[in-house]
């Protein structure tokens, strides 16, 4: 299998993986996200927060306009566009790092790309063929995530015979599909979907076996930030109190070969990733 490029470039973006994992900052312009919902009531404040993430060392900023927390209802495309596009337009050309759009809706993705986004983060792993065609045509990288069920129902009773084997097999099929649609291997990121139709035990198992995901031949993105399983283990009820639990999972994901970690607390997690990188390179 050919090695992945260390420097991935595409129209509108560039990511340098030569020095270890990169940090993706989460910028949710939603009223109801589980952790940062309502944090940025207008586009101006969201743009300022995105610029701050870049200044803190984020390599990507991920804009979301629809909460996917357990039980969440879908948000119509027009509303997602109304929330996200002014923020993307405000960031594009100023932020200096690629902007990704966290959406499952191809119309929202197209509007986001038009506004200046250049990565598509799709928690349904290109379930809608139009999303795959858009990514291929615009040459945007894509994040393909595993989820059992839908956000509305996914936590009702997640079940697997072997969670790691099932998630691995799903992601390989979706990556092969993406390639068959004309998306280059270097531009595909696989994500085990921590918290998406998974119990705490499932999440722990996936993190424990994360190295296997990197061995598939595509890059890996992991999103553990402030998630419920961290609260369950640490007893921290408030998502914002889950910083240290998040730091542990980010360090472990980085050490296990993840190329991108998706986080709320950019400054803190940039330090975590820097330490993992430093220890790794000391061993060369
Ligand atoms: N997690 C969330 C949303 N999008 N995308 C990827 N690729 N991987 C993830 O783990 C992931 C994701 C959920 O976190 P957040 O955006 O903070 O919350 P909400 O969905 O409530 O907006």
Please compute the mean of the pLDDT values over residues 131-145 and round it to a whole number: 98
Residues pairing with 28 in the sheet = 64
Return the ∠ at Cα 257 (arms to 161 and 121), rounded to 5°: 75
Please compute the mean of the pLDDT values over residues 62-76 and round it to a whole number: 93
How many helices, marked H, and strands, marked E, lie in the chain? 10, 10
Compute CA distances 202 → 144, 148, 194, whole Å: 19, 12, 8
CA dihedral of 132, 91, 27, 254, whole degrees rounded to 10: 70
Cα 66 from chain centroid? 14
By C-alpha distance, which of 153, 155, 132 is closest to 143? 132
| pLDDT more than 70, % of the chain | 99
Q: How far is the CA of 70 from the centre of ligand 1 (A)?
A: 11
Please compute the mean of the pLDDT values over residues 31-53 and round it to a whole number: 93
**Is residue 68 assigned to a domain?**
yes
CA distance 67 to 196: 12
Instruction: Say how many residues make up the chain.
Output: 284
**pLDDT at position 151:** 86
Extract the runs of DSSP E, i.e. beta strands, from 125-218.
Answer: 142-145, 188-191
**Is residue 197 assigned to a domain?**
yes
**pLDDT at position 152:** 86
Does the pLDDT at position 1 exceed 70?
Answer: no
**Is 277 exposed, middle or buried (CB count within 10 Å of its CB: 0-12, 13-18, 19+)?**
middle
Q: How far is the CA of 68 from the centre of ligand 1 (A)?
A: 6
Q: Encode burial over 122-140: b for 16+ CB neighbours within 10 A, e otherwise.
A: bbbbbeeeebbebbbebbb
Three-state DSSP at 43 gives helix
Q: What is the number of the ligand 1 atom nearest to the C-alpha of 264? A: 17
**pLDDT at position 71:** 86
* CA dihedral for 92, 192, 122, 229, sign (positive or negative): negative
**Is residue 13 assigned to a domain?**
no
Q: What is the number of the ligand 1 atom nearest to the C-alpha of 189? A: 7
* Active-site pick, 227, 240, 242, 274: 227
Extract the runs of DSSP E, i.e. beta strands, from the chain.
Answer: 7-10, 13-16, 22-28, 60-64, 99-102, 119-122, 142-145, 188-191, 219-222, 260-263
Q: What is the number of the ligand 1 atom nearest to the C-alpha of 28? A: 22
**Is residue 181 assigned to a domain?**
yes
Q: How far is the CA of 138 from the centre of ligand 1 (A)?
A: 23
Q: What is the number of the ligand 1 atom nearest to the C-alpha of 30? A: 22
Q: What is the CATH classification number for the domain harbouring 207?
A: 3.20.20.20
**pLDDT at position 37:** 87
**Is residue 6 assigned to a domain?**
no
Does the pLDDT at position 205 exceed 90?
Answer: yes
pLDDT in tens, 237-274: 999 999 999 999 999 999 999 999 999 999 999 999 99
**Is residue 7 assigned to a domain?**
no
pLDDT-derived band at 177 (thresholds 50, 70, 90) equals: very high
Q: Are 200 and 229 in contact (CB under 8 A)?
A: yes
pLDDT in tens, 212-227: 999 999 999 999 999 9
Active site residue 237: no
**Is residue 92 assigned to a domain?**
yes
Q: How far is the CA of 92 from the centre of ligand 1 (A)?
A: 22
CA distance 190 to 112: 21
Active site residue 69: no
Please compute the mean of the pLDDT values over residues 60-65 and round it to a whole number: 98
Pocket of ligand 1 (CB under 6 A): 26, 28, 30, 33-35, 64, 67-69, 102, 121, 123, 143, 145, 191, 193-194, 221, 223, 262
Q: Which residues form the domain of 274?
A: 20-279
Three-state DSSP at 42 gives coil
Is 0.75 surpassed by the pTM of this model? yes
Bridge pairing between strands 22-28 and 60-64? parallel
pLDDT-derived band at 155 (thresholds 50, 70, 90) equals: confident
Does the pLDDT at position 90 exceed 70?
Answer: yes
* CA dihedral for 256, 259, 264, 268, sign (positive or negative): positive
Ligand 1, pocket-test mutation among 73, 123, 229, 231, most atoms within 8 A of CB: 123
CA dihedral of 240, 243, 249, 255, whole degrees rounded to 10: 140
Q: How many domains does the chain have?
A: 1
Three-state DSSP at 9 gives strand
**Is residue 150 assigned to a domain?**
yes
**pLDDT at position 2:** 66
Please compute the mean of the pLDDT values over residues 179-200 and round it to a whole number: 97
**pLDDT at position 75:** 95
Write the residue with the smallest CA distance to atom 1 of ligand 1: 223
Write the residue with the smallest CA distance to atom 9 of ligand 1: 223
Return the ∠ at Cα 66 (arms to 65 and 72), rounded to 5°: 160
Q: Are 218 and 190 in contact (CB under 8 A)?
A: yes
């Amino acid at each position: 299998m050919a090695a992945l490029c260390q420097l991935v470039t595409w129209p509108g973006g560039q990511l340098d993986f030569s020095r270890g994992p990169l940090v993706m900052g989460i910028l949710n312009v939603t009223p109801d996200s589980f952790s940062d919902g309502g944090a940025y009531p207008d586009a101006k404040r969201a743009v300022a927060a995105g610029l701050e993430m870049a200044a803190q060392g984020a390599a990507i900023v991920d804009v979301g306009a629809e909460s996917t927390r357990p039980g969440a209802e879908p948000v119509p495309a027009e509303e997602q566009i109304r929330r996200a596009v002014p923020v993307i337009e405000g960031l594009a050309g100023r932020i200096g790092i690629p902007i990704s759009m966290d959406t499952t809706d191809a119309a929202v993705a197209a509007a986001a790309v038009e506004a200046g986004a250049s990565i598509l983060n799709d928690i349904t792993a290109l379930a809608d063929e139009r999303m795959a065609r858009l990514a291929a045509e615009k040459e945007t990288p894509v994040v393909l995530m595993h989820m059992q069920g839908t956000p509305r129902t996914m936590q009702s009773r997640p079940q697997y015979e072997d969670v790691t084997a099932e998630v691995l097999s799903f992601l390989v099929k979706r990556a092969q599909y993406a390639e068959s649609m004309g998306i280059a291997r270097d531009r595909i990121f696989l994500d085990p979907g921590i918290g998406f139709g998974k119990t705490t035990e499932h999440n722990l198992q996936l993190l424990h076996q994360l190295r296997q995901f990197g061995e598939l031949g595509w890059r890996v993105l992991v999103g553990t930030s402030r998630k419920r399983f961290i609260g369950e283990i640490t007893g921290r009820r408030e998502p914002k109190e889950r910083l240290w639990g998040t730091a542990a999972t980010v360090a472990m994901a980085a050490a296990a070969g993840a190329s991108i970690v998706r986080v709320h607390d950019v400054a803190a997690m940039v330090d975590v990733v820097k330490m993992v990188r430093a220890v790794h390179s000391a061993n060369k």
